[in-house]
Amino acid sequence: MNFVTPTTTPKKKTSTILRYLIYSLTLGLAPFYPEPHIVGKLRWLLGGAVGMQPMDWFDLVLHGAPWVLLIGAIIWEAKKKYL
């Protein structure tokens, strides 16, 4: 038996920072109108978080996670490059 392996083209390696930037600009800022959701949650949090329910905290984590990943990736790449 002769097995023929299909030839595959090498995949382009997308930068991790670029990927996390796209996540942050889409998932991290959605919904965009009237203001990004994360901005409203951060204002609420900085105002004392009075009346925040568990769903609001979950929402803050959900919309904040892409930003945390982006900042972490930037720090990681900077450490690899400069240290």
Percent of the chain with pLDDT over 90: 59
* pLDDT recorded at residue 81: 85
- Relative orientation angle of helices 54-82 and 37-46, to the nearest 10 degrees: 100
- pLDDT category at 48 given cuts 50, 70, 90 is very high
pLDDT beyond 80 at 3: no
* pLDDT recorded at residue 6: 65
Q: What's the residue count for the chain?
A: 83
